[in-house]
Chain A
Amino acid sequence: MKYWKGIEELDNSPEFAKNAFAEFPDFLPVKESRAGDAEDTSVAPRRDFLKLMGFGVAAATLAACEAPVRKAIPYLNKPEEVDPTISNFYASTYFTGSDYNAVLVKNRDGRPIKLEGNPESPVTRGGLSARAQAAILSLYDGGRLQHFMAKGKKVDFEEADRAIRAGLNSATGKITIVSPTIISPSTKRAIAAFAGSHRNVEHVMYDVNSASGLLQANGGVLPAYDFSRANVIVSLGADFLGTWISPVEYSRQYITNRKVRSDGPAKPTMSRHYQFETALSLSGSNADIRVPVKPSQMAAVVLALYGAIVGGGAVPTLTPAINEKIKTAAAELQNNRGASLVVAGSNDPAVQSLVAAINQSLGNVGTTVDLTNPSYVRQGDDARMAQFVRDLNNGAISAVFFYNANPVYNHPLGAQIKAGIAKAALSVSLNDRLDETGSLCQYQTPDSHWLESWNDYEPKRGFLSLAQPAITPIFKTRQGQESFLRWAGSNETYYNFLKAGWRNVLGANGFQAAWDKAVHDGVATGTALAVAPAFSSPVIGAAEAVSRLRNVTAAPAGTVELALYEKVGIGEGGVEANNPFLQELPDPISKATWGNYVAVPRAMAVANKWEQGDVLSVSAAGVAKPLNLPVLIQPGQADGTVSIAVGYGRMMAGRVGDNVGENAFPFAQVGKDGIVYTNAVTLKATGANSPIAQTQTHHTIMDRREVVQENTLAKYRENPKEVTEYERIATPEGLEKPSKVSLWQDYQYNDHHWGMAIDLNSCIGCGSCVIGCQTENNIAVVGKQQVINRREMHWMRIDRYYSSNAHKSDFDEKGKLDTYAAMEDPSDNPQVVFQPMLCQHCNHAPCETVCPVLATTHSSEGLNQMTYNRCVGTRYCANNCPYKVRRFNWFSYYSNEKFEDVNGHMFTDLGRMVLNPDVTVRARGVMEKCSFCVQRIQLGKLEAKKQKRRPLDGEVVAACAQSCPTEAILFGDMRDPSSRISKLLKREDGERAFHVLDSINVQPNVTYLTKIRNVEQSAFFPEEKPA
């Protein structure tokens, strides 16, 4: 419908069209003063002048009155589904070349503000990794390239397409697409369509964290593992809970065998987890038995295990301690044939062949190892990538496309790629930013963010999932797949292209309904990817592998071996590097943020007189640039080895990520069987000192059983009522529960009483909850210096304690002072416990009484609330909090220019889109802390109220609990007797349920469940030594 301005518009004469859009006509009919026309000069020009001036003034005035353009434009017509302030959830999928997560995107007023795990997914089952949690912030990353570019100039899509097509048509050599692993069937089809329309197209996939060896050993497929069916797990350097292949999926499986309860039909059991590794990883810290080994010993360990299980000759030389552990591991594996699992993180095909042979021999194939429905998340072939580098440098490639790949930065041969790109006649980057690789290309055609895109994924054969756009592209970017279709000469949208492909999956009958359901659920069953082996290299037979590994020469004595590893947060340092949430996510083990470091064992530091923070120069043969990184003394690090995380040292990631740490990728070696993530290095102290930003600087529990309780499985099986040591206080009537004696009146909770239970057995320490909480609650990022100053703002943190060799039982023998001093030092290979710590919402909260202005008070539902507006910032509450969970706004994190680099998303209109409108951004000078996600509680209550009922159990979930991949956190209403938390607390009362620091009688609403270890002796609280 259209209203005409007048009859002229309907006629649409050329004259009208000319004037229609001009604010003013070309000229005003002013009578010109003409020379020689004496009569008029004195009169008419003056009047005209007045007319002109009058009009001019009026026009200027009117123009000045124009209202400024408001950024928030109300909808004229309300879009379907969108209600102001009501959030919608859309199913989508996160996959950025490493871990896969099915997600739900929380959309509020047209913009995605949070990601949550998609419980419908049979793969990740509602869990979400820390990286995926933080990915929402990358959508609003100002460091993304905001338009297409050609040779340094901004261009539009058509111009870029024209130029690229022209380049393609004149290509004589190979046309190569370099990408990380692509698990999207439709993307592969789009690339195939592109390949079909040009000659000589090859697609090279490479993985930064390569599993080439594993693929090769299994005939080109990546076995799907099922940790939930394994009673014995032996991991040879595979950090399957942290970074290896599909950590969220594995964590979920792993934990099913680790949760215990005493009311089951049988006595509780747990899996036994052995970990042989160099650096203390997340998996190693969760292992029951962890054995530190050097990278050069790994071959011998595999051989020894192979020898013990399959049988095969001489056992190579290893220390007796390691041999003994291998023997017990082998024995347990054999006792659990078909219900055990051996995995290895090595990229050596020989190692992986033996591991495959061990699993085969144990009868695990078909139970814990599935080769028929393999995983697809690693398809990279190191050999092909190496070939690509050679081709690029010898001019065989005339066009190269980098599709979300940044090999100049993250490939060991990055320097050669950097030199070679110029040799290709056409170079195009589809990377989302002008990164190390993209900036060397002639054309930049940035891919849209996955939250702006349609896509499909098949992480495992038979499991499909979809991504749908949750927002229109923020910048002038185009989906990579669509770009390939354009360059293939097709004008089809990728959406139609993808949907057409899905007809084969869902079937033509009732397609629309099935499609709608798939889009709604985000996941579907069916398969679209071929199982075809991507590998030409032959599978290495076990015999050959044995002989190859026998020939591995031991490193000469005194060699310092370097093991490279990925951080749980930063990963390979792609888009994550410019994500301040992930930069500030403490490493689960070292608790370090903002940068990498050299993790050294204590013995090495002592021998070389290195202190933590001393900067070392790390060099290796064949590596051009030594790294200057600070020392971090890491308990558990194998003797004679050091570890450095990759993913740091970006130079062109954006404001956040640039110059954080140093790039360790060049230290990886390109061997003939693929990339080797170890090296021999020389370390030299530079004399400089650079403090490491750790969120925890004291590492042992100091024998404070009241803080963390743990016990052994044997004890738990014997009597579950004896695993937790409950604190008693002395009263005239004898020892009593601390809550028996109180000066306080108890609160009455008539309606709800919110509570949380955290199972220390289930928590693996991954940090997903930390980021989930940060995105939900608009928690500021404070940057490296403020973390060094111990001022990080995380409401939810994960305390990590190492066990120590010293215990209180040594008091008599060694004296109190010496024992306490010794208790501060962790063991060389410690047991590790993780404890998520957040506001305990005490019923007798010490913070509440001391606030002079009543800014923190107790709610009628058991919450300890902060009234930010009322807070004057005395910090008394924080001092008086025994759990130290209160966080103070030392600065204006949203306006102080010091924080613009790290907390930039609170400074720009673009970044602020990510903020949760339900949660206030806290001002300078106020205290903040966990609110139990009160906004989610209110929403849940409101929804229930609208339906005139009580909220159902599970409807109200705090962000941390929602995010947890292992369901370690349970949130609910303790007033509701049928809620899971009520039942759990009832069941575990007197068994594993305990409150941290029970004796000070603050009566927390957060309950922890004692950790049970499948070990003979807890290193934290060993049984009293026999007299």
Chain B
Amino acid sequence: MQHVSPVREPLVTSGKTYHDVTQDICYQVEAAPNVRWMGALAVALVLLGVFFYSVYRTLWYGIGEWGLNKTIGWAWDITNFVWWVGIGHAGTLISAVLLLFRQKWRSSINRAAEAMTIFAVICAAMFPVLHMGRPWLAFYVFPLQNTLGSLWANFNSPLLWDVFAISTYFTVSLVFWYTGLVPDFATIRDRAKGKIAKVSYSLLSFGWTGSAKHWSRYETVSLILAGVSTPLVLSVHTIVSMDFATSVVPGWHTTIFPPYFVAGAIFSGFAMVLTLMLITRVVFKLEDYITLEHIALMNKIMMTTGSIVGVAYITEFFIAWYSQVEYEQYCFINRATGPYWWAYASMMTCNVITPQLVWFRRVRYSILLTFILSIIVNIGMWFERFVIIVSSLHRDYLPSSWAMFSPTSIDVGVYVGTIGLFFTLFLLFAKFFPVINMAEVKTILKYTVNDGPTYGGTNDGSQSASRRNSPTPYSTPGVPASAPVNYDKHD
């Protein structure tokens, strides 16, 4: 029997046993793909096709296929880049920061959130490469040895910092994610029936046996990586914000950008995690693992970061007024009242006003409203980047160069295409990888000693209703065999 705390809401509901956890999660990997998944993948693949077509046009004919011009050198490309990087933030935050803060509720969402991070960073990384006029020479940004004499990377350039920040972030996130996957791959490997599945998951699980030594190393590595990742949560978006903050463009040249961007990134990241989780829990029937409590907690974080962002927006206006700098003042007046006022209004509505609805408990706990809210925030955060980039560039110093930006179908295609790429990767992940960290979820199941952990018996691939409901469950006193003992983590 699962122990139910009299004060806390259970993190996993419906009295799941260890076996149920294994069973519920492996089921998605082992069973034949369901129709909804296939439908979703088909849509994602179509969008991926759009991506390939748009990228082909961009690479074959040039960046001129986009709507950029001599005044506005970045628009959708970097907007999308920052947007995707921001989305990627939640994964690391959930897996690393919340791990360090011992927020147990993270266990059921961290896997998907980390996956989301990695895929979002992959999507984000498309843009710095694609937005280059000559992407085939992208390797010039690496400080490689070359035969060109003194030519080397320019360490003054924030774009170069980006290269390091993003690649470090991606590497650490990937390793962290993968480390967490190893025990779960081993579980799937052990249950696998097909030859290909067996071989593949054997390879993926790196010979994991579940020995105490393995668990001990696993825990240590997780902690170290969590420690390494935590500053990255701050550094990546700080550095991305420096692309703007170190420039001379009014509206970009702002010292508030690093904290503002980090808050915004967490904001949008949580919104995206929510969007994905809400879909995943329905598609894969994981309502017991991703509970309303999770949703409410994430809503709170979203609202908090959203409010931080809101304060930052207002601070910018204050500083513009306070600085008495002509260009700065005009930039912000133009943002709010100029030709792109609608983008600014969308941003304000979506990012500052709408999240305040979370103050209402009913909104916080409503799946539908949360889903809508998360989408709104995603849209709002896209507009935030668009506003920062385009509305600052389009009217800067010399009025003679003022211009407007309008996207082409290829601009839209690349953006929508990366969404296709993201969902293709995410759906493949959701089908072939354990979408919830079984090993960690098992640590948060609460048992009295005598009610003890349960083994599932033979692996017949089905969830036997009779066994779950049987009046005499397996009752083995002592330490569970396959559940990790993590005394630190026990409440």
Contacts and interface: CB of A to CB of B under 8 A. Distances in A.
B372 interface: no
A891 interface: yes
A549 to B, nearest CB: 42
A849 interface: yes
A950 interface: no
A384 interface: no
Of A851, A882, A887, which is in contact with the most chain B CB atoms at under 10 Å from its CB?
A882
A880 B249 contact: yes
A883 B70 contact: no
B151 A870 contact: yes
B220 interface: no
B6 to A, nearest CB: 58
- Of the four ranges (under 10, 10 to 19, 20 to 34, 35 or more), the interface on chain B belongs to 35 or more
A879 B249 contact: yes
B62 interface: yes
Contacts of A835: 400
A548 interface: no
A925 B63 contact: yes
Interface in B425-442: none
B156 interface: yes
B368 interface: no
A876 B330 CA distance: 22
A882 B64 contact: no
Given A880-B247, A890-B64, A790 B397 contact: no
Interface stretch (B25-33, B87-95, B133-141, B475-483): B133-141
Interface string A885-908: 011111110001000000000000
Nearest to A792: B70
B410 to A, nearest CB: 12
B152 A883 contact: no
B34 interface: no
B134 A924 contact: yes
Interface stretch (B158-166, B170-178, B309-317): B158-166
B203 interface: no
Contact of A925 (B133, B247, B334, B399): B133
Contact of A852 (B68, B159, B400): B159
Contact of A872 (B73, B137, B337): B137
Contacts of A873: 63, 132-134
A874 B402 contact: no
Contact of B398 (A799, A821, A925): A799
Contact of B159 (A701, A707, A850, A896): A850
B246 interface: yes
A896 to B, nearest CB: 7
Given A702-B330, A876-B157, A880-B247, A799 B400 contact: yes
Interface string A697-726: 111111010110000000000000000000
B73 A875 contact: yes
Contact of B400 (A791, A800, A882, A1002): A800
Contacts of A891: 61-62, 64
Contacts of B403: 697, 790
B174 to A, nearest CB: 23
Given A850-B246, A879-B73, A891-B64, A925 B134 contact: yes
Given A799-B398, A852-B153, A924 B247 contact: no
Chain A interface size, under 10 / 10 to 19 / 20 to 34 / 35 or more: 35 or more
A850 B61 CA distance: 26
B69 A790 contact: yes
If over half of A's interface residues share one DSSP class (helix, strand or loop), that class is named, otherwise mixed; here it is loop
Contacts of A702: 330, 399
Nearest to B77: A875
A837 B398 contact: yes
A422 interface: no
Interface string A854-871: 100000000000010011
Interface in A924-961: 924-927
Contacts of A786: 64
B333 interface: yes
A511 interface: no
Given A707-B398, A817-B333, A870 B132 contact: no
Interface string B95-136: 000000000000000000000000000000000100111110
Nearest to A927: B133
A506 B66 CA distance: 63
A658 to B, nearest CB: 24
Given A854-B153, A873-B132, 9 more contacts: A697-B402, A698-B399, A701-B399, A707-B399, A850-B156, A853-B141, A884-B396, A884-B401, A997-B398
What are the 4 tightest A-B residue pairs by CB atom distance, in nearest-first order?
A: A873-B133, A925-B133, A890-B64, A875-B73
Interface of B: 61-64, 67-71, 73-74, 128, 131-135, 137-138, 140-141, 148, 151-154, 156-160, 163, 243, 246-249, 326, 330, 333-334, 337, 393, 395-404
21 contacts: A699-B399, A846-B248, A849-B246, A850-B158, A851-B157, A851-B159, A852-B141, A852-B160, A853-B153, A853-B154, A854-B153, A871-B133, A872-B132, A872-B137, A875-B131, A882-B397, A883-B397, A883-B401, A896-B62, A925-B62, A925-B132
